[in-house]
Amino acid sequence: MNKAFVFLLMLILTVLTACGTMNNGNQFGFQSETSDTLRDNEESGRKDVSYVEGEITDIADRNPNFLDLNTENEAHNNHGAYQQKLREIVESTNAFNAGMIYINGHKAIVNVTPKRNLSRDDLHWRTDDLQRKLANAVPRYKIDLRVNNNNA
């Protein structure tokens, strides 16, 4: 009796699910009537990117998560420009020579050496002044100023 009831219940469930509406895969509006190409956005009334014509670069230009790999663009951000700017600021001071400057993530590490012997107070004052100038010049990075004072 129990096996017959389970079999009958499974049979009814199978018949009911088989008689449901057939899905042709076009309910989301992405495929054309022939279902071999993606639908053009002009047909659906949206004025977005047309995947049929292959204009996918418009999506990459609007999405901030995609990297801008257009190296011909003059406004392209690279680390070399920021490193050069930091080096120019260090060299513009008469107290320090610029050493190795590198950028790692959100941090810019700037190594400097004093040009001449400075007193401890003078070195501290000039280091703070240089730190402030570097932070104002490149505010997107946290400046880690490392003074290599071999004379101390």
DSSP per position, 50-108: -TTTT-THHHHHH-TTS----TT-TT---HHHHHHHHHHHHHHSSSEEEEEEEEETTEE
pLDDT of residue 39: 53
pLDDT of residue 110: 95
CATH superfamily to which 79-147 belongs = Cation efflux protein, cytoplasmic domain (3.30.70.1350)
Distance CA 29, CA 27 (A): 6
CB burial of residue 108 (10 Å; 0-12, 13-18, 19+): buried
pLDDT of residue 63: 54
pLDDT of residue 90: 93
Taking the domains of the chain in order of start, what are their residue ranges? 29-76, 79-147
What the block records as the tokens of 124 is 């501290």
CB burial of residue 51 (10 Å; 0-12, 13-18, 19+): middle
Distance CA 134, CA 87 (A): 9
pLDDT of residue 22: 59
pLDDT in tens, the chain (152 residues): 788 999 998 988 888 777 665 555 555 555 555 555 555 555 555 555 444 554 555 555 555 555 555 555 555 556 788 899 999 999 998 889 999 999 988 899 999 999 888 888 999 999 999 999 999 988 889 999 999 987 54
Q: With the C-alpha atoms ordered 25, 28, 29, 31, is the resulting torsion angle positive or negative?
A: negative
Does the predicted model carry a pTM greater than 0.95? no
